Structure 1
Amino acid sequence: MTDASRAADRGHPNQWALVLAAGEGSRLRALTTQPCGTPVPKQFCSLSGGQSLVEDAMTRARSLVDAERVCAIVAQQHHRWWSSMPALATLPHPNLIVQPSNRGTAIGILYSLVHILSQDADAQVLLLPSDHYVAQESTLQRSLQAAMEYVLRCPDRPVLLGLQPDEPDGELGYIVPDQLDPFGGRTVARFVEKPELPVAAQIVRAGGLWNTFIIAASARALLNLFLPRFAPIVMEMQVIVGNALEHRSAGGWPAIVDMYTRLPDLDFSRDLLEGHEALLSVLRVPPCGWSDLGTPHRVGETVRKFTGERTVGPMTELSTYINLAARHAHFERSLSGAVL
């Protein structure tokens, strides 16, 4: 695809990107807790001194869609971090979607979809997690573009990006592809979440893919995944958020806060995607040095494999993020009993 055609796609009037940046990153707190005891969510950290992970995700989003259609969902309790990052703080007001508390990935996505649909009833959305490291961005970029082209052809069928594994990994989720579909992807046979390593090896040999949680679809198709089981939640959120956005009244935010106190915790993979495999497709992403940096072990492996850093200097805290590579070196020395 030429640069001109990419620019044309970036200007497509209904294509949106949503950066998911409201998670807590609790499994990485051994590396992301400040000396004062405050844990920093991993999306506001850097792997090795460059941009933070959420800034990387925002760059990814802006390379695919027009800047006016890039959104991010963040958490109110993380205000101290996202408010100081220009990539987030300078988003158009409707595009910085703030949720009052964490109720799981499904609730965060639903809340965001309601916001986006209030601006564009025909929106096609690319969901981008904000906690991924990618060594070869151009490889992932081509797959992201392919996913968005897939949605142009088939907006009502969500498509997931599954990464071709370079080795079995028991800390990741897997997508097992099935038959070719008419639009260039494969149907989804099943999901397997964090299998034991021997099972993961069998899945990889059978063609299983790492689940990146990158998803593209029309906003309506994603909303429809909620309706069979969670229609009352969808309808309440549409009313309360719709009123808040329409009237911009002082009572809008308290009503959203009150709604969140009554919402259940819902996981998008477990509670929405599993059981809807027949409605989904998957596109294979070639190896690109991808990691979700989900645990200290994965941070260490990523540093060793992809950044070329065998040893890292003292811990470095920059103005808004923590250097995960330096923290991991400190963490490993602590585990080995070395004197720090």
Structure 2
Amino acid sequence: MIDVSRSQPHRWALVLAAGDGSRLRALTTQPCGTPVPKQYCSLNGGPSLLEDALTRARSQVAGDRVCAIVAQQHHRWWSNVDTLTSLPQPNLIVQPRNRGTAVGILYSLVHILSQDPDAQVLMLPSDHYVAQEAVLQRSLAAAMEHVVRCPDRPVLLGLHPEEPDSELGYVIPGAADNFGGRTVARFVEKPELTMAAQIVRAGGLWNTFIIAASARALLNLFLPRFSSIVMEMQVIVGNALQQRTASGWPAIVDMYTRLPDLDFSRDVLEGRESMLSVLPVPACGWSDLGTPHRVGETLRKLPGERGASRAALSGYINLAAQHAHFERSMSGASL
């Protein structure tokens, strides 16, 4: 762990943990039929993916500046994660329903800016597996230094691909910037495999959805297209935070019923390439575990016997055991 509480007083981390993980429901559904969001699952019977992300966050920022956004409908899971419930009360950000990644990020930014108008934020998804954490952590630190040198230019972490993958998004880097990164030429979302292979050969990077930026720079990405949503969010959330009581929650719930579903990559980042940088990251055994196939590939790369034979542990569904069951059922269905 690093001590940044004094030297970097405005560094924050935001762990994104409000997703439903619908693409992996075949692997993460309990025997009773209840689907468990994948961030609350363990790949090998140890800590959940969410707990790994919180540890990742604490490697870069002070513990009292780690935030997480969670979903109200997932209360039964996040209320039992000690590393979440032990966060300072303002840092556990609960949204009443899922309105897409863009709305969740905006909602979180408004919360963080209410505590620190000069906040610099490291945004971390909660459903990633990383085999070589030290490699990724060095890149996370470099990304935060990039923000110090260029606070108005958000930087994405783009991973050197281990192989072409048609289920991942790609960042096409442009020219070198003046701060150790590259400009962003364009995004390519889930290309066909032949196109993905061409992108990899041309130097394209996997989009990890890990972003470092000043909170203000991230907020500015929503403007001017979503300025009315930004203003409404600032007013309603600001009033709720000032009251510091449950009385502000109904206004937030009402606001969420009226908000559109917005995707951060598609609706916010695309078209803003000139405002962004990308930092290439060495291969580190990263996976977003987005499909059963990628779960299986990740399990096959785990060392030793960790994997498909282990059962659920500490209240989490073991993705390894579930994947083994899924593979058997699919094999039987195909006969």
Match of 1:275? Answer: 271
Match of 1:198? Answer: 194
RMSD, aligned α-carbons: 1.4
Give the SS at the match of 1:151. Answer: helix
AA partner of residue 17 (structure 1): A
Conserved in 2, the CA contact under 8 Å of 1:180 and 1:187? Answer: yes
Give the SS at the match of 2:226. Answer: helix
**Within the alignment, does 1:160 sit opposite 2:156 as a pair?**
yes
Match of 2:211? Answer: 215
Normalised by the length of structure 2, the TM-score is 0.97
Match of 1:325? Answer: 320
Runs of 4+ more than 6 Å apart: none
AA partner of residue 265 (structure 2): S
AA partner of residue 251 (structure 1): S
AA partner of residue 331 (structure 2): S
**Within the alignment, does 1:105 sit opposite 2:104 as a pair?**
no
For residues 195-245 of structure 1, the C-alpha deviation after alignment (integer angstroms, 9 at most, x for no partner) is: 000000000000000000000000000000011100000000000000000
**Within the alignment, does 1:150 sit opposite 2:142 as a pair?**
no
The answer for unaligned runs of 5 or more in structure 1 is none
For residues 117-161 of structure 1, the C-alpha deviation after alignment (integer angstroms, 9 at most, x for no partner) is: 000000000000000000000000000000000001111100000
For residues 40-77 of structure 1, the C-alpha deviation after alignment (integer angstroms, 9 at most, x for no partner) is: 00000000101000000000001110001000000000
Shift of the alpha carbon at 1:310?
8.3
Conserved in 2, the CA contact under 8 Å of 1:10 and 1:65? Answer: no
Conserved in 2, the CA contact under 8 Å of 1:103 and 1:265? Answer: yes
Shift of the alpha carbon at 1:114?
0.2
Match of 1:180? Answer: 176
Structure-1 separation of matches of 2:34 and 2:258:
27
Conserved in 2, the CA contact under 8 Å of 1:30 and 1:331? Answer: yes
Structure-1 separation of matches of 2:325 and 2:240:
46
Match of 2:117? Answer: 121
Match of 1:69? Answer: 65
- Cα distance, 1:311–1:131 mapped onto 2, change above 3 Å: closer
Correspondent of 1:335 among 312, 323, 330? 330
Shift of the alpha carbon at 1:11?
4.7
Give percent identity, aligned residues only. Answer: 79
AA partner of residue 325 (structure 2): H
The answer for unaligned runs of 5 or more in structure 2 is none
For residues 268-305 of structure 1, the C-alpha deviation after alignment (integer angstroms, 9 at most, x for no partner) is: 00000000000000000100000000011100000112
AA partner of residue 319 (structure 2): L
Conserved in 2, the CA contact under 8 Å of 1:304 and 1:310? Answer: no
Shift of the alpha carbon at 1:9?
7.5
Structure-1 separation of matches of 2:269 and 2:4:
31
Aligned pairs, number: 333
AA partner of residue 272 (structure 1): V
Correspondent of 1:258 among 254, 260, 263? 254
Structure-1 separation of matches of 2:63 and 2:230:
28
Give the SS at the match of 1:331. Answer: helix
Instruction: Describe how 1:30-69 pairs up with structure 2 within 5 A.
Output: 30-69=26-65
Conserved in 2, the CA contact under 8 Å of 1:43 and 1:54? Answer: yes
Structure-2 separation of matches of 1:80 and 1:331:
25
**Within the alignment, does 1:91 sit opposite 2:51 as a pair?**
no
